[in-house]
A and B are shown apart, each in its own frame.
Chain A
Amino acid sequence: MRCEFADSLLQGYFDGELNAPSAAAFERHLQHCIACATELVDLDLLRDRLQLAQLYEPATAALRQKINADLHPIAPLTAASQPLLWQWLAAAAALLFVAVVLGRVSPGLHSDDYQAELAGEIVDAHVRSLRSGPITEIASGDERIVKGWFDAKLKFAIPVRDFANEGFALKGGRLDVMEGRSVAVLVYERNGRPINVFIWPSREPDTSARTGSRQGFQWVDWRKGKTEFCAVSDADRVDLEQLHHLINSSA
């Protein structure tokens, strides 16, 4: 039996990555959770085994020589040709770098898997927001204040609306990082439960809502007007779909 609740806390505890209060909380949990205690022993055994096997493979002398030769070329280029060549190489490297970055961002053929993976990341970010620290960096139900806060921090504009009358009260917002990009997160509350709406710019065409669930959380993802939205919560999916319609009709 695995203890789902403590799973990622357990990894953090094992790796010594928890702060003191979280570690203390986990130790309290550990006193009466056999599943976690067992898994901790297993993790220890696995680490010992990996260490014992000496799997680290250092660079060979031949590689070091090659690298040194690269660093100290025997026949340097003539002074006149150097800057031009290096400018070209630098430009090529920059292009390559951009290609790599774009390759990561655009999903290509694997859009379904990519979306599932992305949803996974978003759910992780949602869970993280519930666990650690305040869920909002700007805590306000005032559309203009929240919008102003985001406008000052983001390079893209996002629609900020309060739907308190419809039962979705705006609580504020924060910034998060998804795949290395800054994303905006609007926080709503529905019947006492927080809903995170992740928002980032997109080049893809508009889509209708796609839904899914992961780790007991529901997510609804859609694109409208060069913007992608993904709402996550443990609230009912119907609630998320209602919020999707509210946001879409106001955007």
Chain B
Amino acid sequence: MSELDLEDRLRFEQLVLPHVDAAFNFARWLLRSRPDAEDVAQEALLRACRFFRSFHGGDARAWLLQIVRNTCYSWLEKNRPMEQSMEFDEELHLQACVTPETLAMAGDDRKCLILALETLPPRFREVLVLRELEGCSYKEIAAITSIPIGTVMSSLSRARRQLHSALANSCHKEKEVVREV
């Protein structure tokens, strides 16, 4: 990191480092794996440091998360190319991953939610994670994902609907069955 002079390095530490949690959490949900998220978050921070001179103030978290997102998608393209082609077919994606059986096996509500969230198509998962876990505004989500605000809104709508129906179809049923027994 020695290409930054002392002043820049201090600025980087003040502005960007407080968002390491956000970077890791976002990568974890995009990649659906903690170990991979650690590697990619670390790489994203390195990139952020390299690009830091191109950061001209503003929302440092959104700026960092944009880099995390690009790093994640490049990583996925290289390491899990099959997954990348899956994301275009939402129906297929859902069929392949969420079945009542897999969700039922998940057990408690937290596991159930994690599984349901992880099986959302990446485009939906990312807006939902940014909104619900990271608390980003639509404007911030639009900046991070490079999609127009209108699309952010419609993606959120579809993401929530899919999550809701995945949960309603599987987890609740399972709970009812357990109660009846």
Contacts and interface: CB of A to CB of B under 8 A. Distances in A.
Nearest to A117: B88
Interface string B62-77: 0000000010011001
Interface stretch (A50-58, A151-159, A164-172, A220-228): A50-58
Interface in A83-110: 83, 86, 89-90, 93, 96-97, 99-100, 103-104, 109-110
A56 B113 contact: no
A116 B42 CA distance: 35
Interface string B1-18: 111000001001100010
Contact of B157 (A11, A83, A90): A11
Nearest to B41: A63
B103 interface: no
Interface residues of B, number: 55
Nearest to B9: A71
B105 interface: no
Nearest to B135: A56
Which of B12, B41, B109, B157 has the most chain A CB atoms closer than 10 A to its own CB? B157
B49 interface: yes
Nearest to B117: A55
Contact of A77 (B2, B157, B160): B2
Given A42-B164, A100-B74, A93 B50 contact: yes
Nearest to B112: A53
Nearest to B89: A113
A83 B2 CA distance: 9
A137 to B, nearest CB: 16
B107 interface: no
Given A77-B2, A179-B147, A67 B45 contact: yes
B169 interface: no
A70 B13 CA distance: 12
A53 B132 CA distance: 12
B163 A178 contact: no
B93 interface: no
Contacts of A133: none
A63 B46 CA distance: 12
A12 B70 contact: no
Contact of A70 (B45, B77, B132): B45
Interface stretch (A119-127, A142-150, A188-196, A238-246): A119-127
A15 B77 contact: no
A73 B153 contact: no
B137 interface: yes
B42 A66 contact: yes
Interface in A161-209: 176-180
A32 interface: no
- Top 10 A-B pairs, shortest CB-CB distance: A59-B24, A86-B3, A128-B150, A180-B146, A113-B88, A58-B21, A124-B150, A53-B110, A8-B153, A11-B157
Given A47-B132, A59-B23, A62-B38, 4 more contacts: A60-B24, A70-B45, A86-B50, A176-B148
